């Protein structure tokens, strides 16, 4: 229990009606979760506006309301706090309510279009191998030490975030690594958190269904760096043309990493094979089990963060060499008759291009690359033809299929994809909306030595169709189909 006056620090208050000397047992922004002695924060959402539920919140037990617009009829028994922005205020109120756990743990956020999950997860793995108790907040899973908490969004809401961080602190975690999505930045889910470091991986075409323009997407990422304090570090990928944009007007200590240009942290690929990468990082040769130039960037990022957090260079490199792939990120296996199966989360044009280029860099050229590719429904439709075009250009054969069609007709999504296929590639494409059948067809086409890429869903264990999530695992399905068709 906290007094209202003690949890309003930095909430951006415009006006208070009533007493702030009120006991608060719970903070809610969903009126359905309210219990007695609750504070209701009327967040204007993308679907519904919390201001429409203020009276309902009072009826079921709220003793105080945080809002952007005061109701016409005020209840004399209720305290009203008018703020500039309810979403942002919720972040600070949640942090204060949980006694600012982010100030008691080294919190590092990773943002960018591609590489967030891999970077955050491998940082967790590396620091755990160095002997620390570590927390992880990611798309795939949330971890407090070795305890797993299911993940539903890239970044949880402000209340969940602070509750998880408080639990991490209580259980002795000294570090937490987390993915920071553009949605969470724009929606102020990370407001009030104290970050010790921020990482920018890259930015390419994605989430324009939400941000509307590429500039809007860039500015959302940049806002994360704008809010860092001078004691934090900001680490950017200098090979990305937008890297320097991220740290314009940033107060944090700036550091850079790159494979192609001069930077504070440098890496060179010596060998790139299905067995792993041999890298030269800061003039030290290291072999790793991860594959591809995109993983060279991920590994360099992880190394740079460890050094910026004060770890010994050789300890960091030794731990780096022991890291293994994150689930659903260029996860591969070989069958008895030498067919290579690869499952990857690539669901943007740039990510798909990186994965296919990596395969083409490693393969001999005598084998087929068969790509199974789909695009999500109810999401940015502009990337559909781009992804299809990339798949056709870089793969030998392409099977277009469903990803998570959600409420869209899969045939419509595939039709959008076909718009990006150049005439000379028509003969190499096949359209099979049923994802299981598409993977089966790809498996049937494969001969000894061939490579099958199933892209788009990666770690996901479901397929979302018309609001229903049905169990579906790309890797499991690919292994099963290869067993069936190859005997």
CATH number assigned to the domain comprising residue 344: 3.90.190.20
pLDDT digits (tens, 9 = 90+) for 207-240: 444 545 878 788 889 999 999 999 999 999 999 9
| Domain identity same for 281 and 217 | yes
Residue 378 CA to its chain's centroid (Å): 18
Supply the pLDDT for residue 464: 95
Question: Is 458 contained in some domain?
Answer: yes
Q: Once rounded to an integer, what is the mean pLDDT over residues 76-91?
A: 97
| Domain identity same for 13 and 156 | no
pLDDT digits (tens, 9 = 90+) for 115-133: 899 999 999 999 999 999 9
Question: Is 479 contained in some domain?
Answer: yes
Supply the pLDDT for residue 46: 74
Which residues neighbour 447 within 8 Å (Cβ) at sequence distance 6 or greater? 339, 368
| Domain identity same for 242 and 384 | no
| Domain identity same for 28 and 162 | no
| Domain identity same for 444 and 298 | no
Q: Once rounded to an integer, what is the mean pLDDT over residues 451-457?
A: 97
| Domain identity same for 92 and 155 | no
Q: CA 169, CA 175: separation in Å to the nearest integer? A: 9
Q: Which residue has the higher pLDDT, 221 or 257?
A: 257
Supply the pLDDT for residue 467: 86
Whether pLDDT at 486 is above 90: no
Q: Once rounded to an integer, what is the mean pLDDT over residues 283-287?
A: 95
Supply the pLDDT for residue 205: 55
Instruction: Name the H helices within 265-377.
Output: 293-308, 313-320, 349-362
What is the gyration radius of the CA atoms in the chain, in angstroms? 24
Supply the pLDDT for residue 484: 84
| Domain identity same for 335 and 468 | yes
Whether pLDDT at 421 is above 70: yes
| Domain identity same for 337 and 442 | yes
- What are the residues facing 344 on neighbouring strands? 455
- What are the residues facing 269 on neighbouring strands? 279
pLDDT digits (tens, 9 = 90+) for 46-69: 788 999 999 999 999 999 999 999
Whether pLDDT at 348 is above 80: yes
Whether pLDDT at 141 is above 90: no
Q: Are the C-beta atoms of 371 and 441 separated by less than 8 Å?
A: no
Structure tokens at 399: 């099977």
Supply the pLDDT for residue 154: 53
Supply the pLDDT for residue 156: 86
| Domain identity same for 241 and 122 | yes
Question: Is 9 contained in some domain?
Answer: yes
Supply the pLDDT for residue 183: 86
| Domain identity same for 93 and 143 | no
Q: Are the C-beta atoms of 462 and 406 separated by less than 8 Å?
A: no
pLDDT digits (tens, 9 = 90+) for 156-209: 899 999 999 999 999 999 999 999 998 889 899 999 999 999 999 998 855 444
Which residues neighbour 430 within 8 Å (Cβ) at sequence distance 6 or greater? 397, 398, 399, 400, 441
Q: Are the C-beta atoms of 289 and 324 separated by less than 8 Å?
A: yes
Of the three residues 320, 350, 377, the one that is the final residue of a domain is 320
Of the three residues 268, 294, 320, the one that is the final residue of a domain is 320
> What is this structure's pTM?
0.87
Question: Is 210 contained in some domain?
Answer: yes
| Domain identity same for 243 and 272 | yes
* Number of domains within the chain: 3
Structure tokens at 150: 């299911």
Q: Are the C-beta atoms of 121 and 331 separated by less than 8 Å?
A: no
Supply the pLDDT for residue 211: 45
| Domain identity same for 120 and 263 | yes
Domain that holds residue 353: 331-486
Question: Is 325 contained in some domain?
Answer: no
Q: Once rounded to an integer, what is the mean pLDDT over residues 384-399?
A: 98
Question: Is 326 contained in some domain?
Answer: no
CATH number for the domain spanning 88: value is 3.40.1390.10
Of the three residues 294, 320, 346, the one that is the final residue of a domain is 320
Question: Is 217 contained in some domain?
Answer: yes
Q: Are the C-beta atoms of 384 and 413 separated by less than 8 Å?
A: yes
Q: Are the C-beta atoms of 185 and 220 separated by less than 8 Å?
A: yes
β-pair type (106-111, 134-137): unpaired
pLDDT digits (tens, 9 = 90+) for 299-325: 999 999 999 999 999 999 999 999 999
pLDDT digits (tens, 9 = 90+) for 267-278: 999 999 988 999
């Amino acid at each position: 229990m906290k007094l209202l006056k003690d949890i309003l620090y930095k909430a951006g208050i415009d006006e208070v009606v009533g007493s702030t000397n009120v006991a608060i047992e719970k903070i809610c922004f969903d009126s359905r979760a309210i219990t007695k002695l609750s504070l209701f924060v009327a967040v204007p959402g993308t679907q519904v506006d919390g201001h429409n539920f203020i009276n309902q919140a009072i009826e079921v037990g709220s003793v105080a309301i945080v809002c952007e617009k005061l109701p016409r009829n005020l209840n004399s028994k209720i305290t009203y706090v008018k703020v500039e922005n309810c979403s942002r205020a919720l972040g600070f109120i949640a942090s204060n309510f949980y006694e600012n756990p982010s100030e008691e743990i080294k919190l590092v956020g990773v943002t960018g279009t591609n590489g967030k999950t891999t970077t955050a997860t491998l940082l967790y793995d590396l620091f755990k191998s160095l002997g620390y108790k570590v927390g992880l907040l990611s798309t795939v899973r949330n971890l407090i030490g070795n305890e797993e908490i299911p993940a539903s969004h890239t970044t949880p809401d402000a209340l969940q975030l602070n509750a998880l961080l408080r639990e991490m602190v209580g259980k002795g975690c000294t570090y937490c690594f987390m993915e920071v999505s553009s949605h969470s930045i724009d929606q102020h889910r990370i407001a009030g958190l104290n970050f010790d470091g921020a990482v920018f991986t890259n930015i390419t075409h994605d989430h324009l269904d939400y941000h509307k323009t590429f500039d809007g997407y860039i500015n959302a990422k940049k806002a994360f760096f704008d809010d860092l304090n001078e004691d934090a570090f900001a680490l950017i990928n200098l090979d990305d043309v937008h890297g320097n944009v991220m740290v314009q007007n940033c107060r944090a200590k700036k550091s850079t990493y790159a494979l192609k240009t001069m930077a504070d942290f440098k890496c060179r690929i010596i060998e790139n094979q299905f067995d792993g990468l041999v890298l030269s990082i800061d003039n030290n040769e290291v072999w790793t089990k991860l594959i591809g130039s995109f993983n060279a960037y991920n590994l360099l990022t992880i190394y740079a963060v460890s050094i910026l957090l004060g770890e010994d260079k050789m300890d960091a490199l030794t731990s780096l060499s022991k890291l293994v792939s994150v689930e659903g990120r260029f996860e591969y296996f070989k069958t008895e008759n030498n067919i290579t199966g690869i499952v990857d989360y690539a669901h943007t044009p740039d990510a798909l291009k990186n994965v296919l280029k990596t395969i083409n860099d490693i393969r001999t050229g005598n084998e087929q690359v068969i790509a199974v590719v789909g695009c999500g429904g109810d999401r940015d439709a502009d990337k559909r033809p781009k992804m299809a075009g990339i798949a056709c250009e870089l793969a030998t054969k392409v099977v277009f299929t469903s990803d998570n069609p959600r409420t869209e007709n899969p045939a419509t999504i595939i039709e959008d994809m076909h718009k990006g296929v150049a005439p000379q590639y028509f003969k190499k494409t096949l359209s099979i909306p049923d994802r299981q059948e598409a993977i089966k067809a790809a498996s049937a086409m494969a001969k000894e030595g061939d490579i099958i890429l199933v892209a788009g869903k990666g770690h996901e264990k479901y397929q979302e169709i018309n609001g229903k999530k049905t169990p579906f695992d790309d890797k499991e399905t690919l292994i099963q189909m290869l067993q069936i068709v190859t005997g």
